[in-house]
Each structure stands twice: as C-alpha cells, then as structure tokens.
Structure 1
Amino acid sequence: HSDAVIRTLEELQTSFKEHAQSILTDENGKQHAHDIEVVGYNSMIQVLEASIAELNKRLGEATVSKEESEKLKSEKNADMTAQQNFLAVLTESCEKKATNWDQRS
C-alpha cells in the first residue's frame, strides 16, 4: 500500500517537472519572440527618427531658401517701383519738352 502511494507521488513529481519544463520552454519561446519584436520596433523607430531629422533639415533649408527668395522679390519689386517712378517723371518731362517744342514751331 505505501509502495503505491510512493509510486503515485513519484509519478506526480515527474509529471509536475515535465509540466513545469514545458511551461518554462513555452515562456522562453514567447520571451524570445517578444525580444525579436522589440528589436524590430526599435530598429523601425531609429529609421523613422533619422527620416524625421532629414526632413526637418530639408525643411530648414527650404525655409531659408524661401526667405532669401522673398527678400530678393522684395528688392526686385522696390527696384521696379523706382524704375516706374523714374519712367513716369521722364515721360512727364519729355511731354513738357514736346509741348514746349511744338509751341515754338
């Protein structure tokens, strides 16, 4: 009778150890899969951060270029306004001289 109890306990111990090993193996597999997934996400994050940094750099360059273009446009508009004013004064002067010339003739 006690041999049967000991045998049952030994079988339970063996079964428990096998079950515990199975659970541990399963957990290790899941942990490994999780670790690989984390490495993949970290790699993706690094690529995206590098892409964001490059885009921010290009945005900064584009902003500087836009500001330079707007400054040049403003200067050209000022030059054009000055030339139009000069043309208006010159036209008025020529018209007065033409009128005076016509009156002399």
Structure 2
Amino acid sequence: MDADGCVLDVGRTARRATRRQRRTILTRYTRCMVDHCPMPAHLCQIDHITNWSDGGTTDLDNLGPTCQFHNRDRYRNPAHYQLHRAGKNRWGFTYLGPRPSTRAGRAR
C-alpha cells in the first residue's frame, strides 16, 4: 500500500498498471529499463518483467518502464534480453541480440 492506504499490488486482477503504480515506478526509474536506452521513463510504457501472458502479476516488483521499441522487441525476441537487478526495487534488461547493420559509409 502507499502512504494513502491505496493498494499498489493488484496481482492478476488487472493487466494494466494503475495510475498510482505508474507514479511509484517513475520515482524508481529515470529512463527505459533496457541498458543504455536514453528514452526518459515518463515517455515509456509500463511493462511486466514476467509477461502477463506467461502468468506475470501487475505488482510493483514485476513492473518497469520500457520504451515502445524495447517493449515490442522484448516480446518478439525474448532470447535477445537478459534480466538483472539494477538496484533495490529496480530491474534492468541487457540487450544481447545482434547489432543493427548500417550501410552508411560502405563503398560498393
């Protein structure tokens, strides 16, 4: 519960984070929880650490901010991401997948 007595862990009764959960999460994170992503947390989506579709709960310890790209990519390519603790009450993901190739500067 928060200081006002409102429940912050809702289990599987709701899929989306509540307004109070989001506010609490934004005090814990400053940016997307994927390492080296510069997207500010207030512009991110609130995502489940253990996916909702895999039985994850909508509890504070299972939620964090991810930018739209990393949110979608993590679901499409779960093997490209490794979960780690980033501090008390915080999680992070390290991207392990292939780096995007660039054609800039290549001679034909």
TM-score tier after normalising by the smaller chain length: under 0.3
Structure ranking higher on relative contact order (CA contacts 8 Å, 6+ apart):
2
TM-score of the pair, normalised by structure 1:
0.19
As a proportion of its length, which structure holds more helix? 1
TM-score, length of structure 2 as denominator length? 0.18
